[in-house]
Amino acid sequence: MKKINVVILSLLLIIASSGITFFATTITQVDLGDKVVISKKDFDQYQETINKYKEVEVLKDYIEKNYYKEVSDELMIEGMKKGIFTVLEDPYSLFMNKDEYKSYMESSSGEYPGIGVYLVANEDNEIEIVAPIEDTPGERAGLQAKDLIIGVNGETVDASVMDETISKVKGEPGTSVTLTIYRPSLKDKFDVDIKREWIDVKVVKSRMLDSQLGYLRISMFDENSAFEFDKHMKELVNQGAQGVVLDLRQNPGGYLTQCVKIADSLLGKSLIVYTESRNGDNERFESDSKKMDVQLVVLVDQGSASASEILTGALKDNKAATIVGVTTYGKGVVQIVKPFSEDTGFKLTTSEYFTPSGKNIHKIGIEPDVVEPLDENYSKIENPTDADDNQLQKAIEILNEKLK
């Protein structure tokens, strides 16, 4: 086999339109001091890769020499990594630097400093609120699902500065942030001052409504949701609950595995959800024959997203619950979250999910069995009671009919 000498470059820069990341070539090599010997096949493949992506090095070199400010290699490399996700034009796929990845993992655990809202970059390059979290500064300030954050502390923002915006919104507990909000439903723009807190989300809450009806709320699907749900549901049953209102309003989603475990406890032997991916790594999630013996009504709204919709779709399609409220958010794609180098990480959409009846609800949402919009005056009530919540009252009415 023909051998040739070549000086090895350790890293190649790869560009994908406006985005770049690192690529390392694996070759068979023999060390000859400051040179190595590789096979002709490896060399040709290596040279092909260099030729394919050499324009990236040209751009990087030009920026380093001519940009009016000094730019560090670290910053340019981070931009390259972020860019290769940006060109996907998928608001749910992104590269996270060290601080962003740490922040994301804190949010997933249910404990972090901030105002308590889940944000996404929508297709119009806007920063959209998926849902405020129950009993957090964001909810108490009146923020709603589908609200757009268009300014922070007087500075205009959009999804092109999503990472910086999230950092500005979170901040230190006890300090305040001023958000400029645009509410599409009202075509209204307004400022709201919010004091940051340490967010410690109690993801599952429950109580008895009367002698035979229970209420259970899941505010998000974190790493402990299934365990907490099981504990709370058993407590309700032990207190005499024959029917339960399962409240998924303003629940932005979370871990698929937790959602599946909860669905398994509420369904008999049936299909919960299935996923389809381009690489053929498809999955089916099915429940066993065991189930809790309670009547269910599920409350949903425009802030019920992702894992909330998976659970809602499974219960609706299997006729295991009556769904009450308004059409859900409409997020029917699944992401994986992976750690990368030096405490960084990335999130990538890898598949679509389908409800048991074969529906993909992405950008569509799930329509309730009983459409019941929340009374527009509810948010204006300072200390609302159960009687003020018309959606909850409709759920109670339906459960009482089921238990007759």
b/e map of 72-108 (b: 16 or more CB within 10 Å)? eeeebbebbbbbbbbeeebbbbbbbbeebbebbeebb
Q: Quick one: how far is CA 372 from the chain centroid?
A: 26
For residue 369, the 8-state DSSP code is: S
Which one of 147, 222, 247, 317 is the catalytic residue?
317
317 included as an active-site residue: yes
Cβ(251)–Cβ(218) under 8 Å?
Answer: yes
Total length of the chain: 404
Report the candidate in 162, 186, 166 with the shortest Cα–Cα distance to residue 117. 166
Give the C-alpha separation, 313 to 37, whole Å. Answer: 59
Asked whether 122 and 128 are in contact (CB, 8 A), the reply is yes
Cβ–Cβ < 8 Å for 151, 179: yes
Distance between alpha carbon 250 and the CA centroid of its chain, in Å? 13
Closest CA to 400 of 247, 320, 295, 246: 295
Q: Which of 81, 261, 331, 394 is catalytic?
A: 331
Separate counts of helices (H) and strands (E) for the chain: 9, 24
Q: Which amino acid is at 319?
A: K
Residue listed under structure tokens 């009252």: 393
Q: C-alpha 356: how far from its chain's center?
A: 22
Q: C-alpha distances in angstroms, 393 versus 298, 324, 375, 399?
A: 12, 10, 11, 10
Where in the sequence numbering do the catalytic residues fall?
306, 317, 331
